[in-house]
Every structure is written in structure tokens, then in C-alpha cells.
Amino acid sequence: MGLLAAMWGASYLFIEIALRDGSAPFIVFARTLLGAAVLVPLAMQRHALAPLRGRAGPIAIMAAVQVAGPFLLISFGQERIASGLAGILVSSAPIYTALLAVFVDQDERSHGWPLFGVLIGIVGVALLFGVDLSGDSAALLGGLMVLLAGLGYAVGALYLKRSLPGAPPVGVAAGTMVFATLMTAPLVVIFPPDGLSAATLGALFGLGAGGTGIAFFLFFTLIAEIGPGRASIVAYVAPVFAVFYGTVLLGEDIGAASIAGLVLILVGSYLGVQRKRPAVEAAADNNAGPVLTRSEPSRSSEPAPARAR
């Protein structure tokens, strides 16, 4: 769990390094390509691609909404804001899930303490925008892009719950990575990288093969070993790693508002997902549930993957 949280949290560090001479579309293309190179063989080994036949449409929509779109928004956003702040803002995805559930999924609606948690998380986001991003239009735009990426993760999770019930998670992960690679390939022609230094190549490899490919495999293994409820704790630790890497390795400033916002968002997200523990555990036992991504920090936005075989 510690290794997985460290890898997911490092994704923002790798993006920040790769942006020094790589364009945002190229970074996403390389990331999804390397992620697919890791996940497709794993999916084939587990016979997880065959159940996806006839489901190309939903997989393509998932690739756009939950992979290509958010990855592009995060990368473009990090051109304007610090990596640690990006990691904090992405962790707001469960808040979106709870808000959207009012309209599209009554089973995920928040009541009582979970609803209070959603309000706490909103206060945390407002604090970040009111203090850390105020007075700088470029930073404000970058923050909005990353916040919109969190919305994409939430929409994708809710859509996947309806459109691909019972699909093998590792197969969905591999399929969405392949489609996302195809979607972002044309953008590389429009936004080519300025040059690829050794640092950029290393960051891309760490981001794609590590934070996108191997990290998914580790998470699926963790689900099988300790269950989805306990495994989801990793998503609350990853933003802390993102802030740590940005502060220690990149020299980013971390103010009191950022720390307070991080605490409020994570506490709010934690409270907001408490209501669904039994249902999620049952879904895991039935080998149901969609794929996870590194920035989906709640059980309501991270339905449980099938047990690894």
C-alpha cells in the first residue's frame, strides 16, 4: 500500500519534470502508451479482454472521460500550478461523485455525516482557490483545469457503473488505455515536444510504466489481498506524497492554506464514502466494478475491481 501511494503521488512530480521540454498532449500520449504496454499483456494473461467484445463504444467513452480528458487537463493545469497543489485538487473527485449522485444515482446519495463530509470538502476547495490561487489568472485557470479533471473521474466512474457492469477491471483498464493512446496521438502532431532530455524520458517512463501501468497492477493485487475497503485508503495517502515530492524535490512552496485545504478535502472525502462499504465489498465478491485511476480517491468513485487471478 505504501509503495502504491508513493507511485501514484509521484505522478504529479513526473508530469512537472516532463513539462520542462515536453508538451502536455505528448506527455499524455506517452503515458497512456506505456500504461497500455503494461496492462494489455496482464489483461490477456487473465483472459480479461474477451468479455469486452461488443463494448467498444462504452470503452471509448470511458477513455475520453476518465483517462484522456483528465490526463490532458491535469498536464495543462500543471503548466500553471505546482504539482503538490494539483495532487490536492484532484482528490476532490469524491465530492463531485456525491453531488452528481443526486441526479443520476440515488444509491450514491449522501446523507448525515457523508453529506457533512461533502460540505467540508467543498470548503477545502474554496479555501485553495480563495487563498493559493487568488490574484493570478494563469494559476486560477490551471486550478480550474485540474478541478475539472476530478469531475471527469467522477462522471466516468458513474457512467462505468451503469454501462459496463461486471466487466473485468484489468480489461477495462487496458482497453481505455489503448483508446486513450489513439485519441491523443493526433494531438502530438499539433503539439510536438520541444526536445526529449534524459530527465524527460525518465519522467515519462516513471509516469507511464510506473504510475499508470504497474500501479494499476499493484492496486488489483492489493484488492485481492485485503479487500476494496481497506485498499481504498491508499487514495487518501497519495496526495500527501504529491505534496511531499513537490516540496522536497522540486522546491515548491506549501502554505498553510494548502495544508488546510488538503486536510479538509481528504477528511470530507473520507466521511463522504463511509455509507457504501458493505455494497462495495459485495460487488468485489461478485467480480463486478469498473477500473480505477490514480486520482479517484473514494469507493463511490472507485467501484471495486474483480479479484486478481
pLDDT in tens, the chain (309 residues): 889 889 989 999 999 999 988 899 999 999 999 999 999 999 999 898 999 988 999 999 999 998 999 999 999 999 999 998 888 888 777 777 777 777 766 665 556 677 777 788 778 877 777 777 766 788 889 999 998 998 888 888 778 777 888 788 888 889 999 999 999 999 999 988 887 889 999 999 999 999 998 987 887 777 667 765 566 667 777 888 988 999 999 988 877 878 888 888 878 777 765 655 444 444 444 333 334 443 344 333 334 444 333
The pLDDT value recorded for residue 287 is 39
Phi and psi angles of residue 78, each rounded to the nearest 5 degrees, phi first: -75, -10
The pLDDT value recorded for residue 162 is 79
Across the chain, the runs of DSSP E, i.e. the strands, are: none
Q: At what angle are helices 69-77 and 24-45 packed, to 10 degrees?
A: 140
Q: How many CB atoms lie within 10 A of CB 279?
A: 15
Residue listed under C-alpha cell 493570478: 136
The pLDDT value recorded for residue 281 is 43
The predicted model scores a pTM of: 0.80
Q: Which residues contact 248 (CB under 8 A, 6 or more apart)?
A: none
Q: How many angstroms separate the CA atoms of 74 and 25, rounded?
A: 11
Sign of CA dihedral 272, 218, 307, 36: positive
Residue 222 in contact with residue 215, Cβ under 8 Å?
A: no
